[in-house]
């Protein structure tokens, strides 16, 4: 496979300060050498940071020359608010959406808004805008942490595809066998949309453990132990993490993954280095 031609995309979160905003703009410019298919921008839990998500996405679209894809989430969202956002994004010539159920804010109970599940949000977007938006949804090769069973989790994913999703991005993982098994299960259910692996570069052991415990992504025992041994040796941890994640990406692409989606955490260095090692940099 010619990895240089593989699709690549990057995810950011809305900056909270003027300094963070300036840094993110620099990161976005640095990552343009990857010829990204798009940059996506997250929401906070419960739809928080919505205004900043909009501002960041519009800035990317107008300044970077890269397609921008805002996240839309069900949690706390009304049909009226989502409809207004869709119209605003259309006005800005933004044609990609990442449609998610989203995370509940701490302490949030009861009904979460007009949408309970992501398939309902996808269906509503299609009802409002037809085929205007290219819609990405989430996939969980290791199962969503709130799923009752693996079968129920797959059912939920198939429902999102049936509602009109064009493609999917997975939660990050470090066991590529989980991805292959998930793809096979999807194919057996007639799912043919591209399912792009989400990639989390390894930079900070404590942070990675916290993220993984929250989202249900498994850190294999062998990897967790080795990273724990290197926790206080930042340079060695980053070097080891680069080797592990680059090898993971190479295997995924060699085994047919349609591309890679990097969870950058608003940093460029590790994503760039992994892409360079894979021969995916266009400079």
Report CA-CA distances (Å) from 184 to 59, 147, 201: 38, 19, 25
Q: What are phi and psi of 25, to 5 degrees?
A: -60, -40
CB atoms within 10 A of CB 228: 14
Separation between Cα atoms, residue 40 and residue 98, nearest integer Å = 8
CB 142 within 8 A of CB 173: yes
Task: Give 42's DSSP letter.
Answer: P
Catalytic center residues: 11
DSSP 8-state secondary structure symbol assigned to residue 64: I
| Residue 239 near residue 270, CB atoms below 8 Å | no
Distance, C-alpha 247 to centroid of its chain: 20
């Amino acid at each position: 496979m010619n990895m240089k031609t593989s699709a690549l995309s990057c995810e950011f979160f809305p900056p909270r300060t003027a300094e963070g905003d300036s840094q993110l703009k620099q990161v976005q410019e640095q990552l343009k050498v990857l010829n990204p298919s798009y940059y996506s921008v997250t929401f906070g839990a419960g739809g928080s940071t919505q205004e900043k998500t909009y501002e960041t996405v519009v800035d990317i679209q107008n300044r970077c020359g890269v397609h921008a894809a805002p996240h839309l989430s069900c949690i706390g969202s009304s049909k009226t608010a989502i409809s207004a956002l869709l119209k605003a994004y259309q006005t800005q010539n933004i044609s990609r959406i990442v449609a998610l159920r989203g995370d509940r804010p701490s302490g949030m109970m009861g009904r979460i808004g007009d949408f309970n599940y992501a398939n309902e949000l996808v269906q509503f977007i299609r009802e409002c805008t037809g085929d205007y938006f290219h819609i990405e949804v989430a996939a969980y090769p290791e199962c969503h942490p709130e799923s009752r069973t693996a079968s129920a989790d797959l059912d939920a994913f198939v429902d999102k595809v049936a509602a009109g999703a064009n493609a999917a991005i997975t939660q990050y993982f470090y066991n590529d066998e989980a991805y292959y098994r998930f793809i096979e299960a999807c194919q057996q259910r007639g799912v043919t949309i591209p399912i792009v692996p989400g990639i989390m570069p390894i930079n900070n052991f404590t942070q990675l453990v916290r993220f993984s415990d929250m989202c249900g992504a498994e850190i294999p025992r062998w990897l967790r132990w080795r990273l724990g041994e290197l926790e206080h040796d930042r340079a060695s941890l980053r070097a080891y993490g680069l080797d592990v994640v680059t090898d993971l990406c190479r295997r995924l692409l060699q085994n047919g993954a349609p591309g890679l989606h990097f969870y950058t955490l608003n940093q460029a260095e590790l994503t760039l280095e992994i892409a360079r090692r894979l021969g995916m940099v266009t400079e």
